Every structure is written in structure tokens, then in C-alpha cells.
Amino acid sequence: MSSAWKIVADLPDPELPVVTIADLGILRDVTEDDQGRVHVQITPTYSGCPAMETISEDLVEALLSAGYQHVDVEFVLSPAWTTDWMTEDAKQKLLAYGIAPPGAVGHGGAVALPLSVRCPQCGSLDTRESSRFGSTACKSLWVCRSCHEPFDHFKAL
């Protein structure tokens, strides 16, 4: 693992600051040469994700501050990001933050729509989807029928 990788892997996601870009699985590759040039590849969680520009700026700033001379950030769209790339640690951090983490997607092509999502507040499965879109487009809004608390669910993609 390169020094540059270690620097950028710890950068928090701007929309979900409890997880890093490495936790989310959007950090694909980091290469560096002996001339101080770094090339970083990241994959958006979905097409048009507004956080990608902020993440790119954060990557450049962190690496330039660490003494690298030139930083190039590339958006890699294929293969498309999937929630299967999230670490188990990321899912636990989301749960502790009050966001229901996604389930496994698998590689069968179909994405299952959950009929119920475990409430991150009380653990109940007696929940319902209130809106397909939550605080960001990658999350949906759910409500727990047991504790009556609303919560975000990170969509499985």
C-alpha cells in the first residue's frame, strides 16, 4: 500500500462523514511515481452523484498538502459501483450513525427491493418506506412503526 493510498483512504465521505471513501469502496486505485505525481481512481456511487466533485477536491488538497507535486483524479464508471463494495466496517458505522445499511446485492443482476428494513434506532423490522429518496439520492426514507422514528436506508445498488 502506497503512502498516497494511506492519505486518501482516510478521507471522509462528504455526505456520510462517519465513513471513509475507502470504507464505501469508491476508492479504486492510487498510483504514484518518484516525481511526486499521483493518479487516483474513484467510482461514483451512482451517476451524477454531487459529492464526487467535493471528493475530488478533497483528494487533491490532501495530497498536495502532503507534498505531492501533481494530482490527477479519474472517475471510473465501469464496472459500476455496488454496495457490495462497502466494507462490513462501513455498514456498522452507518448503523451506529442511524442509517440502515444496505443488504447484499450479489451478482445475479436483479436488485431486490426490501419489504422491511431493520430500524437502526430500536431494531424493529416493523418499518415502511416513506419515500424512495431520503436525504440524498442514494438513500431512501423509512419510518419505524414501533418507535415511530424516521431513518435513512442506504439503497442496495
pLDDT tens-digit series, residues 87-109: 999 999 999 999 999 876 655 55
Q: 68 and 126 share a domain?
A: no
Which amino acid would we find at residue 105? Answer: V
**With contact defined as beta carbons under 8 Å apart, do 40 and 71 qualify?**
yes
Q: 107 and 48 share a domain?
A: no
Q: Please determine, for residue 114, whether its predicted confidence score (pLDDT) is greater than 60.
A: yes
Q: 105 and 63 share a domain?
A: no
- pLDDT, position 111: 57
Which uninterrupted H or E stretch holds 63? helix 51-65
How many domains does the chain fold into? 2
Q: 89 and 129 share a domain?
A: yes
Instruction: Give the burial class of 118: count Cβ atoms within 10 A of its Cβ; 0-12 exposed, 13-18 middle, 19 or more buried.
Output: buried
pLDDT band at 151, cuts 50/70/90?
very high
Rounded Cα–Cα distance for residues 139 and 152 (Å): 6
Rounded Cα–Cα distance for residues 103 and 51 (Å): 22
Q: 150 and 97 share a domain?
A: yes
| End-of-domain residue from the set 75, 107, 137 | 75
Q: 87 and 70 share a domain?
A: no
| End-of-domain residue from the set 50, 75, 100 | 75
Q: Domain containing 110: what range?
A: 83-154
pTM of the model: 0.80
| Nearest of 81, 89, 77 to residue 23 by alpha carbon | 89
Q: 14 and 53 share a domain?
A: yes
Q: Give 120-148 pLDDT, tens digit per residue.
A: 999 999 999 999 888 888 889 999 999 99
For residue 19, give the CATH number of its domain.
Answer: 3.30.300.130
- pLDDT, position 50: 86
Which uninterrupted H or E stretch holds 154? strand 150-154
